[in-house]
Amino acid sequence: MRIATWNVNSVGARLPKLLDWLGTAEPDVLCLQELKCAEDTFPYDEVGDLGYEIAAHGTGRWNGVAVLSRVGLTDIRRGLLDQPGFQADGSMFETPEPRAVAATCGGVRVWSVYVPNGREVGHAHYDYKLRWLEALRGTAVEELAADRPWAVLGDFNIAPNDEDVWDIAAFDGCTHVTPDERKALTALIESGLAEVYPRALKYDVPFTYWDYRALRFPNNQGMRIDLAYGNEAFTSAVTDSYVDRNARKGKGTSDHAPLVVDLDLS
């Protein structure tokens, strides 16, 4: 089974790229983030024509996540356990943002997540990010009680280690690399998960994101923030993992590249 995750940065703007990648990479399951569309405007027909069932969770304009599967799609769940919402003053929305969706695909439980950015240290959105990650940890504990391969994949907006950004000095005092964010990742791991680290291809560190500005991609000034974590039943079945950097090349691409994980569940 091939499972992948990709922040497409607008499924509408990136639809030709998405369809082409699905046709060439042929993932059995694809977790998408940053759809920027409502559930009823997702391109179901175009993606469905390639043999995929879709569980989308979005309200339009910002955020939005989905799970695409050609190996079955059951037990769909939208939103985390006790997931917080966000307002500029730090109070809660009645309905949380569409940042997490889960489904069982071919016997594997998969969550697609789009962790809040955090904006800047001390901002209400940074506190929201930490609360959101705690809700993810609580959801993981709940889900891990079931005896099945389980994984959470997506854009975590956190670089786990200093080497996961192109220049740690450039991130001094910034989000994505703070001790509290990394502590939240550690708490997720301690709930019973392990990271699936992709093998290096062209470069030593398999970055997954490069800003559109300042020639970040051709200069490989990126970040590794798209991650995959799984339980033992999932990680022990992994045969390969890599970042498809070619999907970031050319015009009209997302600023993220897909992370691919291959499994042997036989």
The verdict on whether residue 190 carries a ligand-binding annotation is: no
Is residue 130 pLDDT above 90, yes or no? yes
Secondary structure (H, E, C), 32-101: EECCCCEHHHCCHHHHHCCCCEEEEECECCCCCEEEEECCCCEEEEECCCCCCCCCCCCCCCCCCCCCEE
pLDDT digits (tens, 9 = 90+) for 197-246: 999 999 999 999 999 999 999 999 999 999 999 999 999 999 999 999 99
Q: How far is Cα 21 from Cα 17, in angstroms, rounded to an integer?
A: 6
Q: Which helix (H) or strand (E) holds 143?
A: helix 124-143
The verdict on whether residue 34 carries a ligand-binding annotation is: yes
% of the chain surpassing 70 pLDDT = 97
Name the domain count of the chain.
1
Poorest-confidence range of 85-99, 142-156, 164-178, 213-227?
A: 85-99
pLDDT at 61: 80
Q: Could you tell me where the beta strands, DSSP code E, fall in the chain?
A: 2-7, 29-33, 53-57, 65-69, 74-78, 100-105, 108-114, 150-155, 194-195, 226-230, 238-243, 259-263
pLDDT at 89: 63
Question: Structural domain of residue 134, as residue ranges?
Answer: 2-263
User: Quick one: DSSP state of residue 162?
Assistant: G
Q: What 3-state class would DSSP assign to 243? A: strand
Contact 133, 72 (CB under 8 A): no
Is residue 90 pLDDT above 70, yes or no? no
Pull the structure tokens for residue 126.
Answer: 């940074």
% of the chain surpassing 90 pLDDT = 94
Query: 165 pLDDT band (50/70/90 cuts)?
Result: very high
pLDDT digits (tens, 9 = 90+) for 104-119: 999 999 999 999 999 9
Active site residues: 114, 155, 256
Average pLDDT score, the chain: 96
pLDDT digits (tens, 9 = 90+) for 38-51: 999 999 999 999 99
Query: 62 pLDDT band (50/70/90 cuts)?
Result: confident
CATH number of the domain within which 68 lies: 3.60.10.10
Contact 118, 181 (CB under 8 A): yes
Pull the structure tokens for residue 243.
Answer: 């970042």
Longest Cα–Cα distance in the chain: 50
What are the residues whose beta carbons fall under 8 Å from the beta carbon of 61, sequence distance 6 or more? Answer: 36
pTM above 0.85, yes or no: yes
The verdict on whether residue 256 carries a ligand-binding annotation is: yes
pLDDT at 75: 98
Q: Which of 115, 40, 109 is nearest to 76 (CA)?
A: 109
Is residue 67 pLDDT above 60, yes or no? yes
Main-chain phi, psi angles of 190, to 5 degrees = -70, -15
